[in-house]
Chain A
Amino acid sequence: MQNSEELKWALLVASLAMLTMAFCLISFVMYYQKRRFEEEKRISDIEKTYNRLLLDTALNSEETERRRIAQDLHDDIGTMLSLTKLSLNQLGKIVGSTGNEKEDQIMKKSQSLVEETIIHVRRITRDLVPTTLERFGLIEAIEEFIHKLEEDNNLAITFQANTEDFPRQGQKLELTLYRIMQELVNNAIKHASCSQIDIRLEINDDVIGLKVIDNGVGFDPEKIKENNLAGLGLLGIESRLAIVDGTVQYEKPKMGGSCAYAQIPMVPVSDSKPEPLHPFRRERVNI
């Protein structure tokens, strides 16, 4: 009997010990998993901000580079062309006084070629740096962009903004929206074979929305991503948006065509600080 009593106690103690171990094990797994998870999350957060910084720098240096090229074009080539034009004018006067018909014709042709080149250079510099955007803001810039497109395409492009006076945003945000709009419209022209493009800008208290709708063939963004068909355009939109915490959705409206909707959360404007990575920022490009 004594033996069984002892056995009973031994069993009880052993079972309790085993149970304690089980409890400890469960708590340990929970605790350890939680800590590891938090750590992993922190690391991925750091990685994310780092990537974002990298992307930001890359895009910034791209803009800086464009500015530099525009500056060089304007300062060097632009000046040279102006001087060439001046000399040609002088030459033209001399040639004109001799009265030789053929020489006069060649002279006129050279002059008009130089003038055309000047116009081209001006256009390129203006395309490279969206000066209207910087000086007058997004709405003006989009209107100008549309205007230029409508001239040499028979496309109907409409633009609506939900407020008349669209407040100025931070430079980066405006540029992001502008470049996205540019790419979306370019895509619609390039791929959609559409006759009508609608651009809508919606601003409310916490987000700015940009919608570009065309009535063309439409496309399936999932398929394009899966099949690796995305060019630089759609990827560029995404990376630009990633920097400003924006999102983009592509929809297929029922009446056909495609609709892209980009959203960017508003940030309080702090326009007092100049952006450090834009050394060639100037008020106006004059040619």
Chain B
Amino acid sequence: MLEIYISYCLKNPISSIAVFITLLPITLILIKKAYIDPSFKLLLFYLIVKLIIDILMFQSAARHRNNIILFNLGIPINYAMLSGMFYFKFSSRVFKRGLIASMIGFLIFTLWDILNSNAEISDLHNHRAVLFAKTVEGVLIITLILLFFYEIIKSLKIPNLLTFPFFWVCSGLLLYYSSFIFIAPVLHYTATWNNLVDLGITETIPTIFEIVCAMFISVGIYHFSARDYAK
């Protein structure tokens, strides 16, 4: 039983690390009490959901089962939580309203995309990755990050960005989604049982940046101080 997982880990070390490194920011959030900030509370939920989905995917991958349905369902959930984080960080009303609209719109879009990508929805064995939704998610998140950067530059409230936790979180997410944005649509064709195309190193780039992203988030949380937040 355990051997299956260990052998899978040894075969795919990078993706295994990407799964378990999520524990690092989660512990840091709990230790640093960063969850008193609503944005970080959502980040905590996001990380926990991500960890659960990743572990489930890891388990089914290790047992050679199709886990793409989890990947697909994770997309709107992840987006809802990540964009929710920005909801608390934006000061502009317009941005906030647009954000809520994008959440609802994106949920509908993803469901449509899942149905569209899978002609036979009940056939979980041959379930395929969504064609557009992951890319759209990337574009939306990058847009949110850019808007947030714009607000930072405009408001000039933060003296040192290197010690500002949320900047690190944004940078990590920006890198992750930048690395994923071109790969995501291709997964629709490659992540299938009878896949002929092997992307090789290209496919591990997002995984590597998933790890980088978790590191960045951890660094950000490391700089979080509950006392300063109260002020």
A:249-263 near B, CB below 8 Å: none
- Complexed CA–CA distance, A3 and B200 (Å): 14
Contacting residues, chain B, for A21 (C-beta < 8 A)? 178
A11 touches B186 (CB 8 A): yes
Chain B, interface residues (CB within 8 Å), range: 20 to 34
A91 lies within 8 A of chain B by Cβ: no
Q: Is the interface of B mostly helix, strand, loop or mixed?
A: helix
Chain B residues in the interface with A (C-beta under 8 A) = 146, 149, 152-153, 156, 158-162, 171, 174-175, 178-179, 181-183, 186, 196-202, 205-206, 209
A270 lies within 8 A of chain B by Cβ: no
| Nearest opposing residue in chain B for A12, CB measure | B202
A36 touches B178 (CB 8 A): no
A20-56, CB under 8 A of B: which get 1 and which 0? 0111011001101110110010000000000000000
Counted as pairs of residues, one from A and one from B, with CB atoms less than 8 Å apart, the total is: 67
Contacting residues, chain A, for B161 (C-beta < 8 A)? 29-30, 33-34
Contacting residues, chain A, for B160 (C-beta < 8 A)? 34
Chain A, interface residues (CB within 8 Å), range: 20 to 34
Chain A residues in the interface with B (C-beta under 8 A) = 4, 7-8, 11-12, 14-16, 18-19, 21-23, 25-26, 29-30, 32-34, 36-37, 40
- Complexed CA–CA distance, A4 and B175 (Å): 25
Given contacts A8-B202, A25-B149, A34-B161, contact A15 B196 (CB under 8 A): no
Contacting residues, chain A, for B178 (C-beta < 8 A)? 15, 18-19, 21-22
B152 touches A33 (CB 8 A): yes
Contacting residues, chain B, for A15 (C-beta < 8 A)? 178-179, 181-183, 202, 205-206
B205 touches A12 (CB 8 A): yes
Contacting residues, chain A, for B171 (C-beta < 8 A)? 26
Specify which of A19, A33, A34 is in contact with B209 (CB 8 Å cutoff): A19
A-B contact pairs, 28 of them (CB 8 A): A4-B198, A8-B202, A11-B202, A12-B201, A12-B202, A12-B205, A15-B178, A15-B179, A15-B182, A15-B183, A16-B205, A18-B178, A18-B179, A18-B182, A22-B174, A22-B178, A25-B149, A25-B174, A26-B175, A29-B152, A30-B162, A32-B153, A33-B153, A33-B156, A33-B161, A34-B161, A37-B156, A37-B159
| Nearest opposing residue in chain A for B152, CB measure | A33
A145 to chain B, nearest CB (A): 42
A4-B197, A15-B202, A33-B156 are known; give 8 further A-B pairs, CB within 8 A: A7-B197, A15-B181, A15-B183, A15-B206, A23-B175, A29-B161, A33-B152, A33-B161
Contacting residues, chain B, for A34 (C-beta < 8 A)? 160-161
- Complexed CA–CA distance, A30 and B152 (Å): 10
- Complexed CA–CA distance, A22 and B199 (Å): 22
- Complexed CA–CA distance, A19 and B138 (Å): 13
A-B pairs with the 9 shortest C-beta distances?
A22-B178, A4-B197, A18-B178, A14-B182, A12-B202, A29-B149, A26-B171, A11-B202, A22-B174
